[in-house]
Structures are given as structure tokens and as C-alpha cells.
A and B are shown apart, each in its own frame.
Chain A
Amino acid sequence: MSRQHITDDNFLDTTSSKNVRGYPVVADERLDILAWLSPLEPQMRHREIRARRVDQVGNWLFQTEEYRNWFGSIRGGESDGAALFCYGGPGVGKTYLR
């Protein structure tokens, strides 16, 4: 498996899946296609949130049984427990969970 890196501009730079048949396109067309698929850039909002987030706050979530089961189930490939809904009142910090 090749190593991958999270960059600022792409959430993930990854190698492609073998099973989805790709189609060779030149780089310019690739960018046009991506812009055509969606003009939105959630990375902007993500960066804004990251800049305002305080280290360590919210880390407890990753230790909870709910999170671990949800994430852990990916290896089993079951679709039970595939969705996790974290709910709370306004201002409790849901958006800033890291």
C-alpha cells in the first residue's frame, strides 16, 4: 500500500481504487470536471474551523465506545452501525470535534 498525505488543498491525496474504472483525462479537464461536479469548497470552512479549534478539546470522543464501534466496524465491512449521529445543544462544540 502506498503512503498518502493529507494536504491543505485536498483532504486526501490517495491512489485510486482498482475496481472503479478510470478514464484518462488531461490535468486541465480533470480540474474542470471537479469544478463541474461541485463549485463548493468545504475545505475553506474546514480550515476556518481548524484555525479556531483548541488542541485537546473534544478528544474524549475518540475513546468512547460509540466512536470506536463505528470506526472499528469498517474492518468487518458490516453496514450495521455504519452511521454515527453526535447530537447536542447549540454551542456544545459539535462542529469543533476533531
Chain B
Amino acid sequence: MDTLCKQAVEENAAVACFYFSFAAKEDQSPAVVLGSVLKQVVNGLEEVPERIVRAFRDREKVIDGQRLMLSEITEILKDISSSRCTFIFIDALDECPSEHLENLLDLLNHILQSSPGTRLFTTGRPHILSEVEEHLGGRLATRSITPIKDDVMTFIRAMLQEDTMPDAMDESLEEEIMRNIPEAITET
């Protein structure tokens, strides 16, 4: 994500992220997800688009007009991202409430379709792969993420250095950990 941010800055692009979580207590509907994305994109603009300012100032005049409607959010995102490269990063798409996933994917697809400068980076567990493929169609590239041995070794070393009970560790135990865990993980 940080690497992406740096690369995006070089491209003069906007970056927005959303982290899905089963543990989230708040609503994770498409309006919330894309509302959050829109906020981050607008935050990167020097001026707030007129359409948003007007809607904000009119919000109390409209019944149920407390927040932007999903359709407005999508339209405004499309407008902004059609004139400016925008990277949208969504983590744990499989933790998106299942009743919302299809709608969210369709809206993202719609945004990608009308704004060729938009890029979507998502992660998730493999069981939603076919659904993601179905809704993002030809626009989608996929990549399987598996732990590589070097990464596992680097990670374990970092964890061992933070050990809160260093006295419990001796050389042979450390060797055993460094040998067994990476093997077990990369076998799966």
C-alpha cells in the first residue's frame, strides 16, 4: 500500500483504500465503502468539487438527504477519476457482507469502465475469485499470493528479535524454529 502510494504520487494520482473486516461493527455497504473512497479522493484535491459543496449545503433541505446517495457517490467518483488517475485499494474483499459484494463489484466495474485512469487493487480469499471474475470480467488480472520462504524467514527473525522472554531462547531452539516453520509453511 505504501509502495503503491509512492508510485501513485509519481503519476500524480489519487489513492484511496478500504479495509473490510468481519469484526467491523459499522455498516460496510457500498455507500459506506465508496463514500470513504470519495472522501479520500476529495481530500487530495485542492478544491472540493462544486457538486459536493452544493449537496452538503442543501443536505438539510432534502428528506433523507443526510448523506450522499450511492448513485451520487458513484457519479462524482466517476467524474473525478475520469480527469485524474485514481488508485483504489480494497483489502479483504471476501469480508464484504455477501449481500453487498455483487453490487459493489458492479459499481467498481462501472467506475473502471468510464474512467480509464482508474486502477483497482484488491485482496481476498480464493473462494470469491469466480465472483470477482464474473463482475470485473475482462478488466481483471489475478495473482495468487503464497508465502515465499525468504519472506517467512525474514518475518520469523523479526518476531524473534521482539521476543519478550529472550531467556527462554537458546541457539538450538532458534535453529529448530528457523528450520521447521518455513518448511511447514511453504509446503502447504
Asked whether, in the complex, the Cβ of A84 is within 8 Å of the Cβ of B17, the reply is no
CB within 8 Å for A71 and B119 given contacts A6-B5, A57-B151, A60-B151: yes
Identify which of A14, A85, A92, A95 contacts B141 (C-beta below 8 A). Answer: A85
How far, in angstroms, from A74 to B92 measured CA to CA in the complex?
A: 24
Q: How far is the CA of A70 from the CA of B6 in the complex (A)?
A: 16
Please report the total number of A residues contacting B with Cβ < 8 Å.
71
The minimal Cβ–Cβ distance linking B63 to chain A, given in whole angstroms, is 17
Residue-wise interface mask of B (122-153) relative to A, using a CB-CB cutoff of 8 A (1 in contact, 0 not)? 11111011001100101111111111100100
Give B109 Cβ to nearest chain A Cβ, in Å: 8
Q: With A1-B12, A74-B119 in contact, do A22 and B155 touch (Cβ < 8 Å)?
A: no
In which size bucket is the chain B interface? 35 or more
- Chain A nearest CB from B141 CB (Å) reads 5
Q: Assess the B2–A10 pair: CB atoms within 8 A.
A: no
Whether B101 is near chain A, meaning CB under 8 Å from some CB there, is no
A84 touches B117 (CB 8 A): no
Rounded to whole Å, the gap between the CB of A26 and the closest CB of chain B is: 11
Query: Does B120 make an interface contact (CB < 8 A)?
Result: yes
The residues of A that contact B79 with a CB separation of less than 8 Å are 20
Neighbouring B residues of A98 by C-beta, 8 Å: 1-3
B1-22 toward A: CB 8 Å interface, digit per residue (1/0)?
A: 1110111110111111111000
- The 0/1 profile, CB within 8 Å of B marked 1, for residues 1-43 of chain A is 1001110001111111111111111000110111011101010
B30 at the binding interface (Cβ < 8 Å): no
Asked whether, in the complex, the Cβ of A97 is within 8 Å of the Cβ of B53, the reply is no
* A34-B9 contact, Cβ under 8 Å, with A17-B84, A42-B19, A70-B119: no
Show 25 residue pairs from A and B whose CB-CB distance is below 8 angstroms, ordered by the A residue.
Answer: A4-B9, A11-B15, A11-B16, A11-B43, A12-B5, A22-B45, A22-B50, A25-B53, A30-B48, A34-B39, A42-B36, A56-B154, A60-B148, A79-B113, A79-B116, A81-B141, A83-B119, A86-B121, A87-B123, A87-B144, A88-B123, A93-B151, A95-B19, A95-B123, A98-B3
Interface residues of A (CB under 8 A from B): 1, 4-6, 10-25, 29-30, 32-34, 36-38, 40, 42, 45-46, 49-50, 54-62, 64, 66-67, 69-71, 73-74, 77-90, 92-95, 97-98
The 3 closest A-B pairs by CB, nearest first: A22-B47, A16-B46, A19-B83
